[in-house]
Chains A and B, each alone.
Chain A
Amino acid sequence: MNTLEIKREMTANDIDKWDSLTHMLLISEIEDTFEIRFKLKELNRMKNVGDMIDLISEKMQ
């Protein structure tokens, strides 16, 4: 089984097969799982995994 260690500074460029379609599906899954909805400007503010985690935490408060 493949495992992936996630680090805050990781971006799509660091992860094999994280392409445009995968990115859209990931965002959609996060929205469904955490029952949140990102604004477009929030999506464009996320530069790496750490930004994504912070934004999810912020939106769940």
Chain B
Amino acid sequence: MQEYTIREATLHDIDFIVTAIVEAEKSGSDILSYATVFNLSEAEVREMIRSMLLEEIDGCEFSISCYLIAELNHEPAGTIGAWIETADSPSKTIKSNLLGYYLPKASLAYAARESMITSELIIEHVQDALSLVIVYIAPVHRGKHLFGMLTNAHIHRNSGVKELSIQVMANNEFAIRSYERYGFKKFMNRKCENPEILRFLPYNEKVLLKKTL
């Protein structure tokens, strides 16, 4: 019988992690927020994410060190990017420093002009909780309990953590059911009634789920 194994990600996994970030952002839709918010093509977004991952800066979703990989026969099958959010080193600052450094000035100007509405769906990461930020299981490996395996491995890697948090678009019912099966409970949601937001994001409502360990 084939068995999945869990290991830390390395730069050799970069293509898989780029796909994971892109697919997680799309949340089952065709809308890639980094492309719509910053007026870039998907190819440009992928190249930018790749460059940011190669910087090997810790503490946000563009950090190789945050990812664990589930693999089968030496091929990546799924990944979760997670870290413990701290007040001293907020992930949003690390992430925006990376994005701001790599984005063309024209993209920033476009975002300032067109896409500020997307800020309405921001839910801050929960302080001192282990935030599961990027979750991606390749389609052929879904239904094999890889979410639980990867999450358990992240908990083991961050011994002493007392709480897990995860955010997901409210229309991603399959993912929400998976998280609830694992023991997550809906904690809060944020909704934007302005239909303009659907030009930039896959859905107009986001949910924060938490699980106490």
Contact = CB atoms under 8 A, between A and B. Distances in A.
Contacts, number: 58
Q: Which label, helix, strand, loop or mixed, suits the secondary structure of the A interface?
A: helix
Most A-side CB within 10 Å, residue of B57, B94, B100, B118: B100
A22 B37 CA distance: 13
B6 interface: no
B104 to A, nearest CB: 10
B88 A20 contact: no
Nearest to B103: A24
Contact of A21 (B57, B96, B98): B96
B55 interface: yes
A23 B101 contact: no
B103 A40 contact: no
**In the complex, which range does the number of interface residues on chain B fall in?**
20 to 34
Contact of A44 (B37, B57, B87): B57
B90 A21 contact: no
Most A-side CB within 10 Å, residue of B96, B99, B119: B96
Contact of B112 (A13, A25, A27): A25
Interface in B43-98: 55, 57, 87-88, 90, 92-98
A13 B92 CA distance: 10
A53 interface: no
18 contacts: A11-B90, A12-B92, A17-B119, A19-B122, A20-B92, A20-B96, A20-B122, A24-B96, A25-B108, A27-B97, A27-B100, A28-B100, A28-B108, A40-B55, A40-B57, A43-B100, A44-B57, A44-B94
